[in-house]
Amino acid sequence: MVFRNIAFSFALVLPFLINTVVADTGAAVANITNIDIRRRLQIEYTAEQLNYWSTGCGALKPSCILYPSTAQEVAAIVQVLDSNEERFVSKSGGHNPNEGFASIDDMGWKLCVPWLKV
């Protein structure tokens, strides 16, 4: 009975903790760059998720989608994600049907780099 109560409490608190980490990481990225950040329920987020060759990849929904436009922005983003031990993927426009290569679930970030200027 005690274990069930602990498990239930954890299930209630876990989404809050995940959203707090995502918010902290998003704030850190926003503070060091002028990067576009798209979150769920935004039209651009939904449009990007529909832009997959593989429906399985599009079914995975990242925490947020980041649109860096320079190599410096990519470096800054990767530093923040690494320091927070966050997972991420990069999507550039090619076709890779393997889930997790250019798509990621709730616990990760997606970097979309089709406009990257190097």
| Cα–Cα distance for residue pair 2/93, rounded to 1 Å | 50
Instruction: Please tell me the predicted confidence (pLDDT) of residue 10.
Output: 41
Query: Could you tell me the two tokens for 96?
Result: 């890779």
* CB 36 within 8 Å of CB 66: yes
Instruction: Please tell me the predicted confidence (pLDDT) of residue 79.
Output: 92
Could you tell me which CATH number the domain at 2-112 has?
Answer: 3.30.43.10
Domain boundaries along the sequence of the chain: 2-112
Of residues 118 and 113, the one with the higher pLDDT is 113
pLDDT at 12 over 50: no
Tens of pLDDT, residue by residue over 19-47, are 444 457 878 887 877 888 898 899 998 89
Tens of pLDDT, residue by residue over 51-85, are 887 788 888 899 899 999 888 999 999 999 999 89
